[in-house]
Amino acid sequence: MSDSFQVEATGKAGFTRRRFIIGGVGVSAAAAIGGTTVRAPRALAATPPSGPPTTTLPLPTTTEPEQLLLTWGGDPATEVTVSWSAPGTVAQPAPTLAFSTQPITAHNPGWLVKLPDPRPLDVTQRYGEAAAVSFTDGLNGQTTYFYHVQLQGLKAGTRYYYQVSDGAHAPSTAGSSFETAPAGRAKFRFSSYGDLATPSWDLNTSGNIWHESCDNSWFAVTAIENPGDGKGAPLFHLLNGDLCYANLDVDNAPGVWRDFGNNVARSAANRPWMPALGNHECEFGVDTMAGQPGDAPGGVGAQGAAGSYWNGPYGFGHYLSRFLLPDNGVTNWDGNRLRGNFYAFQVGTVKFISLDADDVIYQDGAANYVIDTANTAPETTTTGAEIPNGTTTYTRLYTGGLTADAKNNSLVPDHASGKPNLQTIWLQQTLAEARRDPSVDMIVVFMHQCAMSTSVSGNGSDLAIRQAWLPLFDQYEVDLVLSGHEHDYERTYPVRGYDAGPTGTVAAPNPGQTKGAAVDTRRPSVVTTEPYEFDGTPAWNTAEGTVYLVLGGGGTNGPTNTYGTDAADDKPQAKVITTRNAVVGSEAAGFSKNGADSIEDAPWSAAINPTDAYGYSIFDVDPGAHPGDTTITFQYFAIPAVSNEAGTAHDGTTTLPSAPTEKFVFGRKVGK
């Protein structure tokens, strides 16, 4: 049985494939399947990029406001947080925010909020209504400044104008306007992707390029401001982790974040951008994991060797300085408040939940210094910090322990340890409350890593997400789960529960595993492969099963849209990570890191896109006439990779699509 709405042949004559293959089967698709789908080489600019900088580049010493960023407060109908930054390493003299329901002019100065003096990031403390935060990068010593004003008591569904000033003698200002979320049951539009990166390659006067930088990330932001269907920009955007890959540029993380901030401000100054933490938000530094300064004798050079190689709490110092997100009310076992690490908010009839999957995943994929060369020297930086070869920042279980529950092949908070996993406890409470709340019809979870992915060149599916959180997604009937991490697109059929028995095979053993051994991958069970129809559009009933969308094609230069197929039967196959990727080797011999250890047949994989890795998703929420009637119409717009011509900034070209490559309705009553 195959999809009723469309089936396309693959290159194999006479064979139809259950998965919907987006894109043609001509030359480009064939090339993509062969693994050669990469963007065209960049043509020479006036100053050709010479690769990632290996020294710290200076940041500006000016103070004009930039990197404007809106996020929702706890209640999006009445609370919006306005954030911005100074360009570089000098704090703004007297920063202020003015806001009003009318444009800010000389005659309408608006309400004025003055910001306090900056204080170093300290996540053990609560924030005031207005806060200025400084963060000193642990590797290059640059200190940068972030300003936050938490606006509360706003009117629902109302446009507000705002202007921020640096308060200099001759002040510099910047501003825009935004709309608060509607009250009650209302229509609205949101958008999503992950893995955005930066478009900095030809903005950097040194001619260097940041890691993962690509002009597709410029067009991805442009697309959110003007979606291809011509029906207007969304109310807000979900950014599914791996924001800018600053942890790959160890000498210049603040500079990479600045490029990210200025790129997304083209949209985030006008509408909230709500992020989830990804592996590339975890950075090397010289702190303990809890964010306390390392205290090893011998100065900063000894901190790495002593295990103090985190950039702020859990390595997330830049992220937690830059984003002031809704408060989950949870304080971690180490005394850090976990504000922004995971959070929830409601717009209309939809509950949105952002999770940090770094806390549960088996895979080891955050900051890495793993070099397969004998006697490789430690990675040293401007401040003299040293990261020994073979070091990774593995933050699994940073909010507390999980323990196996054999009856359900699951992982549950380990209460016996005295420090159970706080994020998972919070998730269960949040889901239970949402399902008890008559104003919530649908639940959308977004996080970075994937429970289900058939990407071959990417990371694969992580068993720990299936064990820790899918039982909760099943129990509370989460409707949609959005992720990134894989730099591609994939959609699953609705799934519920899991298939009994050992569903996988060890293919690339970690220590303690045996190649060819059977392994239980807790493979999610497909509910149906046949969509219903809703007003003429194919539709999936998400009360029957949760649909998972991989939306990681934001804009990096490393597409992973080659997908696994079982050579024996040409059906989808997935890599599955069932244990930590072992770092193997020695100082004397060099180190390497294993990839995914196992494989499974993947009947849950419903659609892939071997042609275009990039794209954005638009979701239109309609509450319908009665409680429970909410539908979400989903459109995926694939964006071709950029090609580049000689010229000035952002000279890459691509065609932003006007028609979706996939369109579905999701709802809990469709087909009934």
If the CB atoms of residues 279 and 455 are measured against Fe ion, the closer one turns out to be 279
- Using alpha carbons, select from 57, 410, 393, 307 the residue that is nearest to residue 206: 57
Output 554 or 652, the one with its CB closest to Fe ion. 554
- Give one DSSP letter per residue of 563-608, joined into a string: B-B-TTT--BEEEEE-S---EEEETTTEEEE----EEEE-TTEEEE
Written as six digits, the tokens of 34 are 């062969």
Question: How far apart are CB 52 and Fe ion at their closest, in Å?
Answer: 16
Closest distance of CB 604 from Fe ion, Å:
21
Which is nearer to Fe ion, 279 or 453 (by Cβ)?
279
Residue 280's nearest CA partner among 141, 77, 29, 487 is 487
Cα 296 from chain centroid? 34
- Shortest approach of Fe ion to residue 239 CB, angstroms? 12
State the Cα–Cα distance between residues 431 and 433, nearest whole angstrom.
Answer: 5
Residue 606 to residue 603: CA distance in whole angstroms: 8
Tokens 């990330």 appear where? 217
To the nearest whole angstrom, how small is the minimum distance from the Cβ of residue 457 to Fe ion? 12
Task: Provide the minimum distance between the beta carbon of 481 and Fe ion in the complex, in angstroms, as a whole number.
Answer: 16
Residue nearest to Fe ion (CB): 242
Question: Closest approach of Cβ 484 to Fe ion, in Å?
Answer: 6
What residues form DSSP beta bridges with 616? 637
Residue environment code for 446-461, b if the CB has 16+ CB neighbours within 10 A, otherwise e? bbbbbbbbbbbbbbbb
- 435's CB contacts (< 8 A; 6+ apart) are 443, 476, 477
What are 46's two structure tokens? 């006036």
**195 or 597: CB nearest Fe ion:** 195
- 3-class secondary structure, 415: helix
Helix spans in 334-445 (H): 422-436
Tell me whether residue 268 is exposed, middle or buried, using C-beta atoms within 10 angstroms of its C-beta: 0 to 12, 13 to 18, 19 or more. buried
Q: Name which of 136 and 449 has its Cβ closer to Fe ion.
A: 449
Q: Find out whether 141 and 383 touch, Cβ atoms under 8 Å.
A: yes
The nearer residue to Fe ion, 368 or 573, going by C-beta atoms, is 368
Residues 6 or more apart whose Cβ sits within 8 Å of residue 527: 493, 494, 495, 496, 544, 545
Which is nearer to Fe ion, 322 or 487 (by Cβ)? 487
Phi-psi region of 615 (alpha: psi -120 to 50; beta: other; left: phi over 0): left
Residue number, 300 or 550, with CB nearest to Fe ion: 550
Contact 465/357 with Cβ under 8 angstroms? yes
Q: Which is nearer to Fe ion, 279 or 399 (CB)?
A: 279
Least CB distance to Fe ion at residue 448 (A): 6
- d(C-alpha 375, C-alpha 626), whole Å: 67
Residues that bind Fe ion (CB under 5 A): 195, 242, 278-279, 485
Contact between 639 and 661 (Cβ < 8 Å): no
- Least Å distance, CB 241 to Fe ion, is 6
Nearest distance from residue 487's CB to Fe ion, in Å?
A: 6
Task: Please count the residues of the chain.
Answer: 672
State how far the Cα of 74 lies from the Cα of 481, in Å rounded to an integer.
21
Q: Which is nearer to Fe ion, 365 or 413 (CB)?
A: 365
Closer to Fe ion at the Cβ: 243 or 250?
243
What's the closest the beta carbon of residue 197 comes to Fe ion, in angstroms? Answer: 8
Give the C-alpha separation, 369 to 355, whole Å: 26
Query: Minimum distance between the CB of residue 70 and Fe ion, rounded to whole angstroms?
Result: 24
**CA end-to-end span of the chain:** 22
- Give the residue with the Cβ less far from Fe ion, 574 or 621: 574
Shortest Cβ 280–Fe ion spacing (Å) = 6
